[in-house]
Chain A
Amino acid sequence: MRAELELWVRAVIGRAYPRIVGATREKSWLFFDTVLPLLGTAAYVFVYRAIGAPEAYIGFVVVGGAMTAFWMNVLWSMSSQLYWEKESGNLGLYIAAPAPMMAILLGMAVGGLFYTSLRATAVILVGSLLFGVHYALGDFGLLLLTFFLTMAALYGMGMLFASLYLLWGREAWHISNLLQEPVYLLSGFYFPVRHLGFWVAVAASFIPLTLGLDAMRQLLFPVEPTLGFLSVPVEVGALAGLSVLFIVAARYALEYLERLAKREGRLTERRG
């Protein structure tokens, strides 16, 4: 049992390592991943200022802008990761290794999360200084829990997508393109999600960022309580449910994928 757990942990650390090292080895991201996302965020800041929206909206936009980094990472990197591993010849070696694929996939998620957290933190810091955002944080523990659950659910969804994308092959690119903008809208990256209307917001809540962002904004900017969609405890509970749902679904999808790979013999083969 202990040996199994040790193998799990080693596999997670081993696979997370390339991403973590990547952040320190190629420092160009500091410019591209901080300045460029801020441009989009700045546009919304100027719009809200021009129409005289409450000052909390500026904070909403900066936090939303930082969180888009996680969505982009899950959509463009995590989801297509197994497909790229296949193309680079790693997937067969991963499957043939004794470490569970779930641990290796989790390692990819942890590495991506670490790398993206640096980017998001940079956006928050620079954005907050630049636009003079005032936070009124009351419960840091709850904020941390909300963030953790949001990430667990989001990267769980990414892990599920990773298996599905591998099954769909090259066509997966189109799915990423298709999902990117609607999720920007539905998750309320740049506005409070309750403005979408109750039922649309409920449907959008299956995207973990929707509830995560909404809860974090309520915790960071409590001066405008009417802007929240649901209460924070309800949103945190829903996020916990989504985390379990996506992680369990990812595990079964991986098992199915491995069975299919063995049966058809094509999923570990590169396309010429």
Chain B
Amino acid sequence: MEEPLAIRTEKLTRIYKIREGKGRRKKKRELVALDRVNLEVQRGELFGLLGPNGAGKTTLIKILTTLLSPTSGRAWVDGLDVERDMREIRRRINMVSGGETSGYGLLTVQENLWMFAQFYGLDRWTARRRMDELLEMVGLVDRRHTKISDLSTGLRQKMNIVRGFLTDPRIIFLDEPTLGLDVGAARQVRSFIANWLKGRPDRTVLLTTHYMVEADELCDRVAIIDHGQVLACDAPARLKRSLGQEAIYHIRVSLLPSEATHGFRLIEGVRQFTPRFHDGHVHLDFILREDDVLTAVVDRISRSGARILSLEKREPTLEDVFIDMVGRGLTEEHPEE
């Protein structure tokens, strides 16, 4: 018999009712967090959900981990219905979120992990064996007897990662697992996830992130999500190739009057444009229909009185794909938030 998909959603919709205001002025409004999402994740895939804060990634994970009911539509995890087969799904999955503060400060790393293992019915020997293996993989062995209140953010997140993988889940949900970690710790976590999957072809990872490097580096396929809708779903390389015809430029300028930035979008051939202020300079990212359009862009920068500090043409990234589809960068604030 054919194995079911690891994850499948069918017109999955979630609408939150939000109360705003105070006293008599209190009003209810609806926020569509997921809008008829159709997804299929194959067994053995490392699948990424890429989108800005408030795009609906966490809502989707909450539904798939049986913590939230969909308003309409259906979802299956490991072939089981998230609404009807909650208990069975919970035996097969686990989850880790970025910035998680779970566990008890007075317990050691090992004691916390043992406690969570009990909620999955793991016997002492299995829990111990897996704990040894996973702590070694994330480089936390020498901290196993440290109280978690004494751990740094990075070490604590590594412990959370071990907690999630300790039950050897068939499907694991990682919600922004490297959020708030420094570059080194984030790299170690990414490396751990990739290594864990090696030799476990039947395991599936669903990872949400708004770090494009993470999605690009780790994921077999990526779904770009914004305003609760899946805008594209493909392998990172194929998504980037979809921008193959366009020219992507990054220009760093000394100073730029804000009114000048509005004019860039009016130049014929500028498909997308995002400005960013960083390190005392203005960084301009352009997706141009063709290289020739650059002349008009440079001309406008010069006329605005700004000085070009550097200009580079680069290969498309997933963020460029996102900008091309949505019209804003991944790190820019979501208007709903």
- Interface positions of A (Cβ within 8 A of B): 3, 6-7, 10-11, 13-15, 17-18, 21-22, 25-26, 88-90, 92-99, 104, 261-263, 265, 268
Contacts and interface: CB of A to CB of B under 8 A. Distances in A.
B30 to A, nearest CB: 13
Nearest to A17: B115
A21 B111 contact: yes
Given A10-B121, A17-B115, A265-B16, A96 B68 contact: no
Contact of A96 (B59, B66, B107): B66
A3 B121 contact: yes
A240 B67 CA distance: 35
Contacts of B122: 10
B304 interface: no
Contacts of B97: 89
A268 B106 contact: no
Nearest to B104: A18
B128 to A, nearest CB: 14
B9 to A, nearest CB: 16
Interface residues of B, number: 33
Contacts of A95: 66-67
Contacts of A26: 106
Contacts of B65: 96
A89 B16 CA distance: 21
Going nearest first, the 6 A-B pairs with the smallest beta carbon separation are A14-B118, A97-B119, A7-B121, A99-B119, A10-B118, A98-B90
A68 to B, nearest CB: 25
Interface string B100-135: 111110110001001111111110000000000000
B87 interface: yes
B106 A99 contact: no
Nearest to B82: A262
B270 interface: no
A261 B67 CA distance: 7
B68 A262 contact: yes
A89 to B, nearest CB: 5
A88 B107 CA distance: 14
Contact of A98 (B14, B87, B104): B87
13 contacts: A3-B121, A6-B121, A10-B121, A14-B117, A17-B107, A18-B107, A88-B101, A89-B102, A93-B95, A93-B119, A95-B66, A265-B59, A265-B62
Contacts of B115: 14-15, 17-18
B69 interface: yes
A21 B112 CA distance: 12
Contacts of B111: 17-18, 21
B68 A265 contact: yes
Contacts of A93: 95, 102, 116, 119
Contacts of B66: 95-96, 262
B102 A90 contact: yes
B67 A99 contact: no
- Max chain A C-beta neighbours (<10 A), residue from B90, B100, B107, B115: B115
Contact of A268 (B14, B67, B117): B67
Interface in B58-105: 59, 62, 65-69, 87, 90-91, 93-95, 97, 100-104
A168 B258 CA distance: 48
A26 B68 CA distance: 38
A33 to B, nearest CB: 16
B297 to A, nearest CB: 41
A13 B111 CA distance: 12
A24 B14 CA distance: 46
B201 to A, nearest CB: 24
Nearest to B117: A14
- Max chain A C-beta neighbours (<10 A), residue from B69, B101, B115, B119: B119
Given A14-B115, A18-B107, A18-B115, A96 B102 contact: no
Given A88-B101, A265-B16, A98 B67 contact: no
B120 A97 contact: yes
A172 to B, nearest CB: 20
A93 B113 CA distance: 13
B68 A104 contact: no
Nearest to B62: A265
B16 A18 contact: no
Contacts of A10: 118-119, 121-122
A84 B229 CA distance: 34
B277 to A, nearest CB: 26
Contacts of B67: 92, 95-96, 261-262, 265, 268
Given A18-B104, A89-B97, A96-B93, 7 more contacts: A10-B119, A14-B114, A14-B119, A17-B114, A88-B102, A90-B103, A262-B67
A93 B118 CA distance: 12
B91 A98 contact: yes
Nearest to B108: A21
A262 B121 contact: no
Nearest to B16: A265
A11 B117 CA distance: 9
A99 B121 contact: yes
Contacts of A13: 118
A93 B303 CA distance: 57
